[in-house]
Amino acid sequence: MPRAIPISTSVTDNKDHTYALVLMGGGARTAYQAGVLRALGSMLSLAGGLWPDQQTFPFKILVGTSAGALNAAYLASHAIKGLNAFGLLANFWAELRSDQVYHLDVPRWIRSSRIAAALFLSQHVRRQQAFLNNTPLVDTLHRAISLPDIEQALHDKTLHALAVAASSYTSGVHWTFCQTALGKPLTNWSRPGRRTEFQHITIEHLMASSALPFIFPSTPLWVDEHREYFGDGSMRQSSPLSPAIHLGASRVLVIGVGQPERAGLAGAADNSGNRPTLGAIAGHAMASVFQDTLQADVEQAQRMSKTLNQLPREIAAMLPYKPVEVMSISPSRSLDAMAQQHVGELHPATYNALSGLGALGSKASPGGAALASYLLFEPGFVKDLIALGERDAYARKSELLTFFGFGSDAAANGAMHF
């Protein structure tokens, strides 16, 4: 697991840095991020009284992709509540249900035949242009996220920027949409295959960013004065840390929900040596979409910062680059295996469809439940994800507090046990 580059432990060190939070995508799996952040909020509030106050939100820049964009926007709309925003995010996830995100009408007999399931779902996809209908998510986001409160947080400088990533099916370009305080100079950046545009973030941007490929329908957005259709921001995301750095971050905390070595993946073909199921292959493809670029980008940023910190000051000052401290947190357990324990919580229609595709896994092959893990917006799985996020954060408590400029005494005072 990537480690943060060593930094000063001065308590006042955090005042000299701009902190960014980068939240990666992963459907229901991103409930894990709420657990990490709730633990972080507790650590900062108990750090020996060193944190300025409960109303101080620690991140000035929020960057989100896919379901991570929903988390980022939720935090932006509650940033004026300070550290309490993290607990509110965890509560939002704890109350979420699959029928508040999507719905699917599938006859019960579908689960009896994979061929019948494939034919039925292929016809459904041709009609709907997607596996699931995610219109319930629109209402959920309107109730949970206050767009005026995001604008207020930017206006009063609680936040500097909110950025949301989405991938254009129309042009193939990966776009980052950024909202900053009114009146602040805006400078677009453009790289091969990826561009940015400064717009007010809307529910449509969040729907576009979180439109899982094949699972949810595309969403139209306006860019360069014309309409393009967008899908999940994790697709073609070659540099997930780039928006935070361009927006001025000097320290970046990134929370992913992928796993480079997924437990049970090798068992996607079961112990009898059979070919992997369609669901297992889809899960593997989804894992590649949501994970592959993050680790490489984090490691590259850390190597670059380490090199810059080792250069003589007069030489470093002449370069167009500045060191950026990066800390990455990701699940310590297989989320595929966790999902396999909770597949029975799925709505019957979704359960029947995934069962027909062989996408519910088994104890011998938990990798087969990977696809289900992106759709399990249900209490049991969400609760376990939040708890895992909290445990993983507390396992790295000392490192997190050091990242925020607190020394070992604060780490001791902020200790909590599970």
- Letter for the amino acid at 333? R
What span, in angstroms and rounded, lies between the C-alpha atoms of 50 and 43? 11
What span, in angstroms and rounded, lies between the C-alpha atoms of 351 and 360? 8
**Which one, of 338, 163, 172, lies nearest residue 245 by Cα?**
163
For residue 417, give the 3-state DSSP assignment.
coil
Active site residue 408: no
DSSP 270-293: -TT-PPPPHHHHHHHHHHHHHHHH
What span, in angstroms and rounded, lies between the C-alpha atoms of 181 and 159? 8
Q: How far is CA 297 from the centre of its chain?
A: 15
What span, in angstroms and rounded, lies between the C-alpha atoms of 316 and 277? 53
Identify the active-site residue in 232, 297, 384, 392.
232
Active site residue 392: no
Residues 232 and 66 sit within 8 Å (Cβ to Cβ):
yes
What span, in angstroms and rounded, lies between the C-alpha atoms of 384 and 34? 11
- Letter for the amino acid at 235? M
Identify the active-site residue in 42, 66, 218, 355.
66
Residues 336 and 299 sit within 8 Å (Cβ to Cβ):
no
Residues with a catalytic annotation lie at 66, 232
